[in-house]
Amino acid sequence: MSLRYGARSIRPRRNLYAPACFNPSQAPSIARSWQRWSSVAESPASERVLFPGALKSKFTNDLAFIRPAELEAIPTYRVMNQDGVVIDETRDLGTTDEEALTLYRKMICLSVMDLIMFEAQRQGRLSFYMVSTGEEGITIGSSSALDPSDVVFAQYREAGVLMERGFTLDQFMNQFFSNCKDFGKGRNMPVHFGSRELNVHTISSTLATQIPHSSGAAYALKMQAKLNPDLPGRIACCYFGEGAASEGDFHGALNIAATRACPVIFLCRNNGFAISTPTSDQYRGDGVASRGAGYGIDTIRVDGNDIFAVRQAIKEARREALADGGKPILVEAMAYRIGHHSTSDDSFAYRQKVEVEDWKRRDNPITRLRKWLEGRGLWDEAKEKELRSKVRKEILVAFDKAEKEKKPALKHAFSDVWENFTEEQKSQMEELRSVLERYPEEYDIEQYEGGLDSLKEDLKQ
Ligand SMILES: Cc1ncc(C[n+]2csc(CCOP(=O)(O)OP(=O)(O)O)c2C)c(N)n1
Ligand SMILES: [Mg+2]
């Protein structure tokens, strides 16, 4: 095999890496794009650098630095303006009226749930909460453009993705109240949900850890597709904030996804803040999108307040991520974090209330889509009131049910670490039981499923 660069022919000396497979005996033939050639030298007549590290670079006599501050900022793709008016009517919106109504109802449901849960935390009825206010268009819009079989890795402000995929209000509430029906058996803080059934990996608070996981998952999906070419393609979709993109994990994950050509969408929600740190203190480059080019990743910046633009960008990103054996795509979705970072934060300590109020009123994904729906005669004030009151009732029913459920069995403080309880764990469980038995007035054991018996049972997981 040989490759021609200008007048020269370059021969690979050896494969630098053998592709990893699940089963080496069925090694699929992997596209050779990952192969690189060493010992490339420059010929005297060459116009381009032939160093192996920058194969397409031309020589220049200009001593000129690249000055990012002087470059045009990357544009932001949008389909409709702040008044909910589609800018180019001749182009396909990619969303039917019925779909737009469904998306709108989901956004309202999420935003009403946020209001209720934030308030409930203030009343001391749950420990913690994070709202998505201002980012409903990014999460619900993007999720609706993925395939349900795609694997999602999220940060924590992506309740909209789960809601769009079909996570029920009961499932949300069971997680928020850490009750015995919570899939995580009450071990995680509220909003750290996950669902095996919906292909959503459980959220981890440790920022950015989900990004390399998504590259790895995308690599596995690529290998699966090689072994089963008749199955429909799947991608990984990874959500993270612009703050998380400052972690080393972000860089490693993008680089490996690029070099291994993994089918993954990296979806950065750039909402202007990492808790109290504004973007002006987070980076000097042009947002997060500008980093995509550095890794050789196709990238787009999109207006996160425009749900149609988000859907179009993600649909196209997904198509491209699966084409020609796979590749990563970076999408930077712009928004403004209208809510406080979490219930543990008071954002008016570091930003003006008037600025927040302005975004709330002037431009956010919900009002934009509502204006569009009203413009088409699909929505009005009466429908809005009816919907809000309906979802409020549904949320409160699920809330009441979940709040009354028992807490997970005490043994689940120990289970699922090892396949079976170890001798050490068993003795710790015995010790816990004896403490609880000795001081019954100090502990309300009955609120835990199975009470003390869960620690007495034949100590099986
Ligand atoms: C490794 C790590 N460092 C710091 C934190 C504390 N922390 C939690 S959220 C957060 C801000 C993240 O901002 P961003 O990624 O922009 O997401 P947003 O909250 O804006 O949605 C920080 C610093 C953490 N959870 N993990
Ligand atoms: Mg942020």
Q: Do residue 431 and residue 316 come from a single domain?
A: no
For residue 3, the SS3 value is strand
In a domain? residue 78: no
Cβ contacts of 355-361, under 8 Å, gap ≥ 24: 359/134, 360/133, 360/134
In whole angstroms, what is the distance from residue 344 CA to residue 275 CA? Answer: 10
Instruction: Provide the pLDDT for residue 133.
Output: 97
End-to-end, the C-alpha distance of the chain in Å comes to: 56
Please tell me the predicted confidence (pLDDT) of residue 37: 45
Distance between CA atoms of residues 333 and 89, nearest Å: 23
Flag whether 80 is in a domain.
no
Ligand nearest to the CA of 244: 1
Q: Is residue 82 part of a domain?
A: no
- Residue 334 covered by a domain: yes
- Ligand 1 site, residue 134, Cβ cutoff 6 A: no
Residues 420, 368 share a domain = no
Q: What are phi and psi of 224, to 5 degrees?
A: -60, -45
**230 within some domain:** yes
Q: Ligand 2 centroid to 55 CA: how many Å?
A: 36
Ligand 1 neighbour 271 (Cβ under 6 A):
yes
Looking at the CA of residue 208, tell me the nearest atom of ligand 1: 1
Furthest CA-CA distance within the chain? 89
On whether both 326 and 452 belong to a single domain, the answer is no
Same domain? For 416 and 399 the reply is no
What is the predicted pLDDT for the residue at 143?
98
Query: Are 123 and 267 in the same domain?
Result: yes
Residue 48 is assigned to a structural domain of this protein = yes
Q: Which of 341, 325, 330 is nearest to 301 (CA)?
A: 330
DSSP string covering 170-187: HHHHHHHTT-TT-TTTT-
86 domain-assigned: no
Q: Which two tokens stand for residue 334?
A: 């712009």
Q: Are residues 109 and 232 in the same domain?
A: yes
Beta-sheet strands, E only, within 297-440: 298-303, 329-334
Assess whether 427 and 300 both reside in one domain.
Answer: no
> Could you give the 3-state DSSP secondary structure of residue 222?
helix
Domain count, the chain: 3
Segments forming the whole domain that contains residue 440: 410-456
Looking at the CA of residue 270, tell me the nearest atom of ligand 1: 16
* Protein residue with least CA distance to atom 13, ligand 1: 274
Q: Are 194 and 203 in contact (CB under 8 A)?
A: yes
Q: Are residues 341 and 421 in the same domain?
A: no
Q: Give CA 460 to chain center in angstroms.
A: 35
Residues contacting 136, CB < 8 A, separation 6+: 107, 110, 111, 160, 365, 366
Residue located nearest, by CA, to atom 23 of ligand 1: 274
What CATH number is attached to the domain comprising 211? 3.40.50.970
| Whether 133 and 279 share a structural domain | yes
Same domain, 416 and 349: no
Q: Do the domain assignments include residue 118?
A: yes
How far, rounded to the nearest angstrom, does the alpha carbon of residue 106 sit from its chain's CA centroid? 18
* 72 vs 366: CA distance, rounded Å: 30
pLDDT of residue 319: 98
Please list, in sequence order, all residues whose beta carbon lies within 8 angstroms of the beta carbon of residue 178, skipping any fewer than 6 positions away.
Answer: 127, 184, 186, 187, 188, 190, 407, 408
Neighbours of 345 (CB within 10 A): 15
Are 151 and 188 members of one domain? yes
> Could you list the active site residues?
119, 205, 341-342
Specify the pLDDT at position 362. 87
The ligand 1 atom at the shortest distance from the C-alpha of residue 274 is 13
pLDDT in tens, the chain (461 residues): 333 333 343 344 444 343 443 443 444 444 444 444 444 555 667 788 778 898 889 999 999 999 999 999 999 999 999 999 999 999 999 999 999 999 999 999 999 999 999 999 999 999 999 999 999 999 999 999 999 999 999 999 999 999 999 999 999 999 999 999 999 999 999 999 999 999 999 999 999 999 999 999 999 999 999 999 999 999 999 999 999 999 999 999 999 999 999 999 999 999 999 999 999 999 999 999 999 999 999 999 999 999 999 999 999 999 999 999 999 999 999 999 999 999 999 999 999 999 999 999 889 999 999 999 999 999 999 999 999 999 999 999 999 999 999 999 999 999 999 999 999 999 999 999 999 999 999 999 999 999 999 888 666 66
Tell how far the Cα of 113 is from the centroid of ligand 1, in angstroms: 22
Residues 289 and 388 in one domain: yes
Query: What phi, psi does 152 have (nearest 5°)?
Result: -105, 135
Q: Strand, helix or coil at 290?
A: helix
